[in-house]
Amino acid sequence: MSDAVRIGEYLLGPSLGEGAMAQVYVALRVKSGGFRHLVAVKRLREALAREPDFVSMLVDEARLTARIDHPNVVGTQDVLNLQGELLIAMDYVRGLSLAEVASRPIPAKVACAIASDVLRGLHAAHELRHPSGESLELVHRDVSPGNIIVGLDGMARLIDFGIAKALGRLSSTRTGVIKGKFRYMAPELFDGRVDRRVDVYSLAICLWEMLTGERLFEGEEESALLDDILAKPIRRPSRVEKSVPSALDAIVLRGLERDPDLRFANAKEMADEIDATVGRASASEVSTWMHERFQDAIEARDALVEAFESSASALADIPEPDPIVTPQLAALGENRRAERTRASSRRSPWLAVGGAVVTATILAFFVTLPASKESSREASSEPSISSSSIVGAPIPLAASGVALPSLSAGPDDDGDFPAEEASARKLDRRRFKKRRIVDCSPPYWLDPKGVRHYKVECTR
């Protein structure tokens, strides 16, 4: 727990993996009332978090992809831009990425089950529509082993909808900043043509690599990769790995057609063809295969997560998360505070004058009352003056000996008020004090447990 970092509602624990764009952490979402929920958090690189175009595009896409409700798509819970950090919070899936399990050939029916699951998740996203009935035209654009999770429940799931599109927008406006993952990109993407069939092509590459245990395009330099993608002859999977059923060759090669019109028209069509022609392993069989082949990796991951979760749960003194202040909310708050200050400044002179008049009137009453009684005793023939007529009569303030309070007196002046009233005014004037100056080097503090907490004043 000494390495845990608190960002907003999220307590980031150990790293689960790292890629070119982000690092993935197991994390707890900590809310009021002791509520804690285990999630996976993708912490994007600082360079991306500083790009307003990318952040804006990512948030826009997250609004759309949050509507995908399918068992083969990992749900996005939150996109957080706070304290200079850009985080994507997702459901935590107990399992391993396809990149971790595809280092050698995968049994054909297990590979078909993984491919079929991902294809059906893709189809659900591709078919997503606006309430008006118009297609949202969602395309993943980055179907690759790192974005496919094989769960220990035997189901495969796709993650990171929306990131590739945001990166595409950034690369079109910031030449050379983001270069993309060429290895799994469909040829037409290089011409700017995008539809659902680019995801079918990328998944077909993943299936070819699961069946053979090799990379389809081996070039390391982008120029070499581009040449391979556009022109390299593609071998049948059964010629690379003898255990692959020849019936799978036609399906894989059709998915890898460079002309999108010759591919499967949609992801569901390819999934149906796989299930009908070759068949697929059941979820139970996939789960058994995962436990048998990756037992050590699974146990190590489970131990890491359990240790983090136990340690975090034991920290009963985890403070409430700081309020998440977006630039829009901050501007709204500043406008409201400025309006209250202007209203207060308009009222203050009149309140001061009114208070002075009332105070002088009351004091004049008590000063004048004894003199009036003495005068009545000395000259009984004169009419007596009632207290009501004294209070109601205009009194020359300067002649009464009462000093007018200065109209320039600010909220910090307590004057000669009684002790209780002065105390109340001191409490009330805290609202008017300027924000205290906080040292933001560093912008966080460490509690006794070693947990890092960012200072609210340093995030505004």
For the stretch 135-158, pLDDT in tens is 888 898 889 999 999 999 999 999
Predicted local confidence at residue 212, as pLDDT? 97
CA distance 206 to 117: 13
Domains in the chain, ordered, with CATH?
5-309 (1.10.510.10)
Report the largest interatomic distance among the alpha carbons of the chain, rounded to a whole angstrom. 133
Q: Are 118 and 72 in contact (CB under 8 A)?
A: yes
Catalytically active residues, by annotation: 142
Predicted local confidence at residue 349, as pLDDT? 56
Predicted local confidence at residue 121, as pLDDT? 96
Each residue's pLDDT expressed in tens, for the chain with a length of 460 residues: 456 788 888 888 999 888 767 889 999 988 777 678 899 998 888 777 777 777 777 777 777 777 888 999 998 888 887 777 888 898 999 999 999 999 899 999 999 999 999 999 999 999 988 888 888 888 988 899 999 999 999 999 999 876 655 555 544 444 333 344 678 999 998 888 989 999 999 999 999 999 999 999 987 788 888 899 999 999 999 999 999 999 999 999 999 999 999 999 999 999 999 999 999 999 999 999 999 999 999 999 999 999 988 877 655 344 544 444 444 444 444 544 555 555 455 555 555 555 555 565 655 555 555 544 444 444 444 444 333 333 333 434 344 444 434 433 444 444 444 554 445 444 444 444 445 566 676 666 666 666 666 666 665 5
**CA 400 to the chain's CA centroid:** 66
pTM of the model: 0.66
